[in-house]
Amino acid sequence: MPHHSFQISHLALTKIESEEPEELPTIPPEELQALNKEDTLFEISVLEEKLGKMKPNMAAIAEYRKKVR
């Protein structure tokens, strides 16, 4: 199983009480076949690098959720 598929399988949506849940987009097989694999892998690596630099304060997010409830 590719690394990104393993990571995606553990994701879950967090319900925001004041908003309707969004449906996750899906890409039809014909569009997937039209994608350039090298470009897509490069884009994934750029996004992973950006994600690695993000340092969200999870304690502050949890505290905010407590106050909102």
Residue 42 domain-assigned (yes or no): yes
Residue 5 domain-assigned (yes or no): no
Q: Which residues span the domain enclosing 62?
A: 30-69
Would you state the pLDDT for residue 45? Answer: 93
Given a contact cutoff of 8 angstroms between Cβ atoms, the answer to whether 62 and 56 are in contact is no
Domains in the chain, number: 1
Would you state the pLDDT for residue 10? Answer: 74
Residue 35 domain-assigned (yes or no): yes
Stronger pLDDT, 64 or 11, i.e. the higher one: 64
Residue 24 domain-assigned (yes or no): no
Residue 64 domain-assigned (yes or no): yes
* pTM confidence score: 0.45
Would you state the pLDDT for residue 67? Answer: 87
Residue 3 domain-assigned (yes or no): no
Q: What angle do CA 16, 26, 48 make, to 5 degrees?
A: 75
Residue 37 domain-assigned (yes or no): yes
Residue 43 domain-assigned (yes or no): yes
pLDDT in tens, 22-57: 777 888 989 988 989 899 899 999 999 998 888 888
